[in-house]
Amino acid sequence: MKRHPLLCLVLALLSPHAPAAVHTVSAGQSILAAVKQSAPGDTVRVMPGTYVETVYIDRDNITLQGVMVGGERPVLDGRNTLKDGILVAGDGVTVEHFLIRNYTANGLNLQGVNNFVVRHNIVQDTGIYAINPELSRNGLVAYNRISGVWDAAIYCGECMDVDILYNEAFGSVMGIESQTSQNVLIEGNYVHDNATGIAAFLIPGVSRKTTGNTVIRNNFVVHNNRANFAPPDSMPGLVPEGVGIAIAGYDEVTLEGNQINGNQSAGILLVDQATAFGSNFALDPAQDPTVNSARIYSNMLFGNGGEPLGLVAAYLADSGLPRGPDILDADPTSAGNCIYSKEAWFAVGVDHWSLCAQPTATAVASMRLAAPIAPRTWSDDQLGRNTWVAVCSACHNENGYLIGPPVARIQQDFVGAPEALAAWIAAPTRMNADFPPMPPQDYLPEKTRLAVARHVLGLQPKAAANTPPTAGSNVDESGN
Amino acid sequence: MPGRRLGRWALLCCLLAPAAICRELDGAEIRLSEDCPPGYLEREGRCHLVSLYDQYASFTGQGGLRAALPPPARSYTAAQIDLGRYLFFDPLLSRERDMSCANCHRPALGFSDGQARAMGRDPAIPAGEPATGRLLPRNTPGLWNIGFFRLLSWDGKRTDLVAQSLAPVFAADEMNLDAGELARRLRQSAYGALLARAFGKDERYRTLPLVEQAAHALAAFQGSLVSLNSRYDYYVFGANDALSEQELRGLTLFRSFDTRCSECHTPPLFSNQQLATLGVPEPVGKPFDSGAQAVFGREDLRGAFRIPGLRNVALTAPYMHNGVFGQLEDVVKFYADGRGNSASPAEALKIHWHIVHPRLDPQQQGDLVAFLRALTDTSHMPRIPTSLPSGLSISAR
């Protein structure tokens, strides 16, 4: 069927969103420049090559996609001088198929983000964290290979509703850390040769105060015996060495189906916050420092504890035990914890634990939400009214004269012409000598400007209560 | 640069604002406004803040570019807010009738005072004799966006703006009234009628004593000091060139974990409202300030203070709990010099884990300062009264 070109134009104009565009970046070009050119819904495809830059994504629904050609993938390289590889502050962002290396702060940082996907990336030697969603919600971190950072390779900080699946995390102080988070699934990861393999930490001094519902399942957690190479005065400087899975202060962790082998201090370690962090850092009066409601179902624990170090060694010295345990609860005040069997493994400090009831957490398929978190939707009326109040009311008033002209005057000047008013707002020209010129409001999207123009033309002004200000009026600034 | 232009005009708007009011107050009678302040929408008789941040779904309410704001503790009517404005600027609230809230919380200085430490009064001077200043231990906090905060005082002791509003009024070394004298002054001045008008029909507050109603009015007014229309906010709302290249570099550093600035100073308020020990030096001759330790009775909070918001921070120098740093450049350098650089070894402080060892060259430090200066917005500057219900004049000390 042949469409009429005019009809197509009309349909395009009526459509609320422009069609998603694809921007291609080739070696020698800037990824950041392409991101800045993109609109929500767009994809930025990056061809193989080495890109020495920091890319920040501050708009929503952008896909940043590396393209593999002939076995080569695009490389973001900080040359050990740039701080961050990719900083994400937009919702609904996907980052995939990159090699990110040699940054000094973070490889891929997401802060305050909803609905994120990070997958199929290789991240090497990126300073503190490699992939770190923080204060973020509803996301997936999967199929990444990460190594060589002095905190956690994958760090989920004050997160909620996140799946961390099928990654390889090694050669770092921690492989995977869930920090003061809620609803996290850590599954199917290969976590080896870190100081501690997987950590669930309740960290003091942050805005979240509680933790919970975290499932660590079917991971391979082996040979995490690396010397801790974090700065000794930093928080990760306190992370124990030789531990498979460490839980400090964090509640409601379920462990099942993990292979936890060859970790020389202990397979699983549970401690209170004071023992873990109290030597160097203030605890938080609003947090409960003990581990509660941990559930340890069947896991394969073998060959752990052969050569204990650090706080596990100190515990053993006090208790006279011959070697490090598979499972150690170093906090006698922990409560509500349960274990599959107290006799299947060398488990220490679990006398006060109960035996776990069924069911296990196998039925948990994902911690992500069934649908993306939607932005709050404002109708055009709400958008117009709220923008008027939030922005315009600083200078304009329905009742009379404030700084700019009153509503009645605006209505006279733009009667029946909201489009003209919307355009004028973005690039104002002086219309009245009685008033100071208006600053351009071009940061407001066109849709917002039109909505606010319609709103102001539809207001019912009250009688003007005063007269316009004259130039040169005294400014009364008391106390100055 | 369009962003710079916007900033200049915003400033012009603020400077002109009071002029409109002079006329509103023509005549002797004080008339309380029936209109909610800029940024507020009236609903069921009360004023409710409207912000473009309301469009965003939030998680913890903090962090990232587009996060929702925490809800305000209370809502008030236009008249209650306006009455608070008069009280705030009225020296009737001090024993010698010569010091108002605005003496230390000056509008043009981000509602701080430009001094390293607040200047109070020696309470030992008898009534009627010339007051003698007394240097108070801490810096005067700015008040922009204070209505969103639950942690109000430097040491974390005050968490309710209503109670906090009268604390300096009753403090012997500040305004030095007692509740009885304040009640008498309110009753015997035009405030008696104005309080009745503003609160008399309000089910929530009408049975409260006059003094408490006045505290609510002061909190209502301070809650209206909202700053969310800076050039940074324009950038958040989609204006890609609202920030200069240098300011964008500063934003990128601000949110990098190399500095970890944004982890404590989380947007949109640029504070996560926690306590933190930084190891800030005390000025020469001033003893160590134990901060939150004294309030919470916890050794590990020794030297911990409230993490302040950074909106309008360019206006509120000097900085830190003791005003030890005169300029933003000094503050940034303090962090850049690394964790514990000024902490007394004798104190063995538990410095917050977000205080690290950033690697910031002088240009990067300048970039951070430039970004902080882009957080300035005083477009909702309240109108300063030209006459007061007490009949006193608005005096600078």
* Residues A204 and A343 placed together within one structural domain of the fold: yes
Q: How many domains does chain A have?
A: 3
Which residue of A lies nearest to B106 if distances are taken between CA atoms?
A479
Write down the H helix ranges in chain B: 2-24, 78-88, 101-104, 161-170, 179-188, 191-199, 210-223, 231-236, 245-254, 261-264, 292-296, 328-336, 362-373
- The partner residues of A123 in beta bridges, in order of sequence, read A100, A146
Residues of A in contact with B252 (CB under 8 A): 54, 56, 83-84, 87
Is the minimum CB–CB distance between A205 and chain B shorter than 8 Å? yes
- Put simply, the answer to whether B20 touches A466 (Cβ < 8 Å) is yes
Residues of B in contact with A135 (CB under 8 A): 59-60, 62-64, 266
Q: Which domains does chain B have, with CATH numbers?
A: 28-223 (1.10.760.10), 231-373 (1.10.760.10)
Tell me the per-residue pLDDT of A237-253, one tens digit each, with 9 for 90 and over. Answer: 999 999 999 999 999 99
Phi-psi category of residue A12: left, alpha or beta, with phi > 0 → left and psi -120 to 50 → alpha: alpha
pLDDT band, very low/low/confident/very high, at A480 (cuts 50, 70, 90): very low
Answer whether residue A425 is part of any domain.
Answer: yes
How far is the alpha carbon of A341 from chain B, nearest alpha carbon, in Å? Answer: 38
Residues of A in contact with B67 (CB under 8 A): 112
A54-113 residues touching B, CB cutoff 8 A: 54, 56, 58-59, 83-84, 87, 89-91, 104-106, 109, 111-113
* Residues A232 and A301 placed together within one structural domain of the fold: yes
Nearest to A87 among B41, B255, B296 (CB): B255
Which residue of A lies nearest to B307 if distances are taken between CA atoms?
A205
As given in the structure block, the two tokens for residue A71 are 């076995």
pLDDT band, very low/low/confident/very high, at A478 (cuts 50, 70, 90): very low
* Residues A337 and A416 placed together within one structural domain of the fold: no
Residues whose CB falls within 8 Å of the CB of residue A347, separated by 6 or more in sequence, listed in order: A325, A326, A327, A328, A339
Range of the domain at A67: 19-127
Q: Can you tell me the distance from the alpha carbon of B87 to that of B78, in angstroms, rounded to the nearest whole number?
A: 14
Residues of A in contact with B271 (CB under 8 A): none
Residues of B in contact with A465 (CB under 8 A): 24
- Put simply, the answer to whether A390 touches B107 (Cβ < 8 Å) is no
How far is the alpha carbon of A47 from chain B, nearest alpha carbon, in Å? Answer: 25
- Put simply, the answer to whether B56 touches A375 (Cβ < 8 Å) is yes
* Residues A306 and A236 placed together within one structural domain of the fold: yes
Spatial contact of A446 and A419, defined as CB atoms under 8 Å apart: no
**Where among A313, A342, A375 does a domain terminate?**
A375
* Residues A84 and A192 placed together within one structural domain of the fold: no
Tell me the per-residue pLDDT of A418-439, one tens digit each, with 9 for 90 and over. Answer: 999 999 999 999 888 888 888 8
A284-323 residues touching B, CB cutoff 8 A: 285
Nearest to A479 among B67, B103, B276 (CB): B103
Q: Which CATH number fits the domain that encloses residue A411?
A: 1.10.760.10
* Residues A278 and A209 placed together within one structural domain of the fold: yes
- Put simply, the answer to whether A390 touches B20 (Cβ < 8 Å) is no
Mean pLDDT of A387-410: 85
- Put simply, the answer to whether B55 touches A113 (Cβ < 8 Å) is no
Which residue of B lies nearest to A40 if distances are taken between CA atoms?
B238
A251-280 residues touching B, CB cutoff 8 A: 278, 280
Is the minimum CB–CB distance between A281 and chain B shorter than 8 Å? yes
* Residues A28 and A114 placed together within one structural domain of the fold: yes
Is the minimum CB–CB distance between A442 and chain B shorter than 8 Å? yes
* Residues A222 and A316 placed together within one structural domain of the fold: yes
Answer whether residue A151 is part of any domain.
Answer: no
A125-144 residues touching B, CB cutoff 8 A: 127-129, 132, 134-137
Does position A319 have pLDDT exceeding 90, yes or no? no
How far is the alpha carbon of B207 from chain A, nearest alpha carbon, in Å? Answer: 32
**Where among A343, A359, A375 does a domain terminate?**
A375
pLDDT the model gives residue B130: 72
Instruction: Work out how many CB contacts closer than 8 A connect A with B.
Output: 240
ipTM (interface predicted TM): 0.89
Greater pLDDT, B6 or A190: A190
**pLDDT lower than 50: segments of chain B:** 1-28, 61, 396-397
Mutation to test the A interface, candidates B155, B257, B264, B357, most A Cβ within 10 Å: B257
- Put simply, the answer to whether B6 touches A36 (Cβ < 8 Å) is no
Mutation to test the B interface, candidates A391, A392, A435, A446, most B Cβ within 10 Å: A391
Does position A476 have pLDDT exceeding 60, yes or no? no
* Residues A413 and A298 placed together within one structural domain of the fold: no
* Residues A109 and A197 placed together within one structural domain of the fold: no
Answer whether residue A274 is part of any domain.
Answer: yes
Q: What is the rounded end-to-end Cα distance, in angstroms, of chain A?
A: 74
- Put simply, the answer to whether B237 touches A444 (Cβ < 8 Å) is yes
- Identify residue B223 by its one-letter amino acid code: G
Answer whether residue A424 is part of any domain.
Answer: yes
- Put simply, the answer to whether A477 touches B277 (Cβ < 8 Å) is no
Q: Can you tell me the distance from the alpha carbon of B184 to that of B209, in angstroms, rounded to the nearest whole number?
A: 11
Tell me the per-residue pLDDT of A43-91, one tens digit each, with 9 for 90 and over. Answer: 999 999 999 999 999 999 999 999 999 999 999 999 999 999 999 999 9
Answer whether residue A168 is part of any domain.
Answer: no
Answer whether residue A217 is part of any domain.
Answer: yes
Does position A138 have pLDDT exceeding 80, yes or no? yes
Is the minimum CB–CB distance between A18 and chain B shorter than 8 Å? no
List the one residue out of A226, A274, A266, A275 whose CA is nearest residue A246.
A266
- The partner residues of A50 in beta bridges, in order of sequence, read A75
Answer whether residue A285 is part of any domain.
Answer: yes
pLDDT the model gives residue B344: 83
pLDDT the model gives residue B395: 63
Phi-psi category of residue B367: left, alpha or beta, with phi > 0 → left and psi -120 to 50 → alpha: alpha
- Put simply, the answer to whether A480 touches B100 (Cβ < 8 Å) is no
* Residues A231 and A364 placed together within one structural domain of the fold: yes
DSSP reduced 3-state for A238: helix
* Residues A241 and A361 placed together within one structural domain of the fold: yes
DSSP B320: S
pLDDT the model gives residue B26: 34
How far is the alpha carbon of B255 from chain A, nearest alpha carbon, in Å? Answer: 8
Residues of A in contact with B274 (CB under 8 A): 205-207
Q: Can you tell me the distance from the alpha carbon of B357 to that of B340, in angstroms, rounded to the nearest whole number?
A: 9
Mean pLDDT of A195-221: 96
Spatial contact of A264 and A307, defined as CB atoms under 8 Å apart: yes
Answer whether residue A370 is part of any domain.
Answer: yes
How far is the alpha carbon of B76 from chain A, nearest alpha carbon, in Å? Answer: 17
- Put simply, the answer to whether A465 touches B24 (Cβ < 8 Å) is yes
DSSP reduced 3-state for A438: coil
Tell me the per-residue pLDDT of B181-217, one tens digit each, with 9 for 90 and over. Answer: 999 999 999 999 999 999 999 999 999 999 999 999 9
pLDDT the model gives residue A434: 82
**Where among A343, A358, A375 does a domain terminate?**
A375
